[in-house]
Amino acid sequence: MDDLQSKDTQTSEVAEDKLEALEVESFKETELSQSDEGSSQFLQEGKRMARDEFDFISPSDPLQEQSLSAPSNLDLEDTRVEMDWPQSEKTPEHELEDTIISPAVSAKTKKTPKVESTNSKRRRNRQRMKQETAAKRIAATVVVVVLLALAITAYTGYSYVKSSLEPMDPTSTKIVQVEIPEGSSTKEIGNILVQNQLIKNATIFNYYAKLKSYNNFQSGYYNLSQSMSVDELAKTLQESGTPTPVDPIAGKVLVIEGYTIEQIAQAVTDNVYTKDKDDKTSFSSEEFLETVKNPDFINRMVAKYPKLFANLPAADSGVKYQLEGYLFPATYEYTKSTSMEELVEKMITAMDANLQSYYGQLSSMGLTVNQLLTLASLVEKEGATDEDRRNIASVFYNRLNISMPLQSNIAILYAMGKLGQETTLEEDATIDTNIDSPYNIYVRAGLMPGPVDSPSLSAIQATLKPNDTEYYYFVADVTTGTVYYSATVEEHNQNVEKYVNSKLNQ
């Protein structure tokens, strides 16, 4: 009985040791892998197995109760015995050696480290990801702001440079007189232009001039304008300036092709230098007409331009104005000091300059300058295109060659003082062809005593080089302006009926 009780006591002690060993083993497993989510389950399973081994002695057995109530002051010895555990529950020797602890230390007093839960890890990972995302957003924002700032700076710089190359005031008519001293550098010229408010930036002018190879600037006086771009200013400054100041341009007068002297008299009063249609010059129509009729002035011009005025009609030849047709149509500048005679002489000079290359040809054609300008003044009004003008000139030459009257309404309208005025088709069709005038070339063969308007260079060239045709008649469609030509009067009458009369009766 004593042996049995002793054996039961030993068995109980072995079971308790096994329980403690398994608890320690589970604790070490927790330490070795705190991040392992199954560590807690392993500890609970070890405890369960230990209790199963301990409970093989029934608590109701008196022997068990007696053995369990053994005195606590007994010396504990190593009474471990080898037990036949299932293979899956055996613990390697080196692990058992590591798990032996002092019996005086209870496994219940050991503090089990806290294991981080899965939710906690997820929260920590989400927090870290949020922080990383925020950092990336901040970095991206900084990059965008920097790029935007660079783009704005680049655009602002480009806009400033572009505007610095444009006119200071495109609509300005103010003339600024500038002196460029001899030996001035491009940079110094830029500073002069800035001081006179002609450009915005001297440095940009300097670099732009080098870029465009504007390096041949000339010294002297220049009349410049705020309406000029940097390119225009640079090109002007490469021309020779005047050694002394010259009056700036005060305005411009426009003489349109085909204008009569009376129309030019009105044109000289209008300053076309500005966009203001009401802007007037200092000249008057009366002063102009007095000048072109002044015998002293005409004589001075004849002496000064002998080729041009070699056959100028005399004052008593029946012409309305001796200088009619000799004033070249163009745009003319004037200054505050320009006189009326100087302005008219500019027009005469321009006509002489445009005819210089044709004076020799006139001699070979057997024409005088007056005949050329007279015929060209009709061609100017009768034809609108170069081709029509060459054909019409051919018609006039063919008629002159057989002494056939030219029969142009243009000359009749001039004699009536209506050339240049608006006339209806009915008025043109019912024109008085019996008017008593040296300009009535319906009843008079040959040319008028002089031109009836200021012909353009195109009309002059068509008269000098007409097409070779057999036409003697022409008529224009009153609605389209198309010109139809014919060699016989029968064909001409058919064209008149078709393109004029039938449309007038509609």
Using the predicted structure, report yes or no on whether residue 87 has a pLDDT greater than 80: no
**Of 54-63, 285-294, 335-344, 378-387, the least confident:** 54-63
Using the predicted structure, report yes or no on whether residue 104 has a pLDDT greater than 70: no
Q: Provide CATH code, domain 175-237.
A: 3.30.1490.480
Q: Can you say whether the dihedral through the CA atoms of 126, 129, 131, 134 is positive or negative?
A: negative
> What tens digit of pLDDT does each residue of 458-494 get?
999 999 999 999 999 999 998 899 999 999 999 999 9
Of the two residues 9 and 404, the one the predictor is more confident about is: 404
Do residues 447 and 374 lie in contact, with contact meaning Cβ atoms separated by under 8 Å?
yes
| pLDDT at residue 23, rounded to an integer | 54
| pLDDT at residue 89, rounded to an integer | 46
Question: Which residue bears the tokens 């504007």?
Answer: 214
Distances (CA, A) of 76 to 9, 13, 72, 250, 313: 12, 9, 10, 132, 160
Highest mean pLDDT among 92-96, 144-148, 149-153, 414-418: 414-418
| pLDDT at residue 180, rounded to an integer | 94
Using the predicted structure, report yes or no on whether residue 4 has a pLDDT greater than 90: no
Do residues 290 and 427 lie in contact, with contact meaning Cβ atoms separated by under 8 Å?
no
Question: Which residue bears the tokens 């232009």?
Answer: 193
R_g of the chain, CA atoms, integer Å: 59
| pLDDT at residue 41, rounded to an integer | 57
Q: Is 498 helix (H, G, I), strand (E, B) or coil?
A: helix
- Strand ranges, E, within 300-451: 331-335
- Alpha-carbon distance of 413 to 333, in angstroms, equals 31
- Alpha-carbon distance of 233 to 199, in angstroms, equals 9
| pLDDT at residue 113, rounded to an integer | 57
Spans of all domains in the chain: 2-109, 175-237, 249-357, 367-504
In this prediction, residue 156 has a pLDDT band, given cuts at 50, 70 and 90, of confident
Neighbours of 342 (CB within 10 A): 13
> What tens digit of pLDDT does each residue of 33-73 get?
554 455 555 556 555 655 554 444 444 444 444 444 444 44
The mean pLDDT value of the chain amounts to 82
| pLDDT at residue 44, rounded to an integer | 61
Question: Which residue bears the tokens 């102009």?
Answer: 288
Do residues 370 and 450 lie in contact, with contact meaning Cβ atoms separated by under 8 Å?
yes
Using the predicted structure, report yes or no on whether residue 74 has a pLDDT greater than 90: no
Residue 153 sits at φ, ψ, to 5 deg, of -65, -45
| pLDDT at residue 60, rounded to an integer | 47
In this prediction, residue 76 has a pLDDT band, given cuts at 50, 70 and 90, of very low
- Alpha-carbon distance of 227 to 208, in angstroms, equals 18
Percentage of residues in the chain having pLDDT higher than 70: 76
Beta-bridged to residue 254, according to DSSP, are: 331
Do residues 216 and 236 lie in contact, with contact meaning Cβ atoms separated by under 8 Å?
no
| pLDDT at residue 425, rounded to an integer | 79
Neighbours of 340 (CB within 10 A): 19
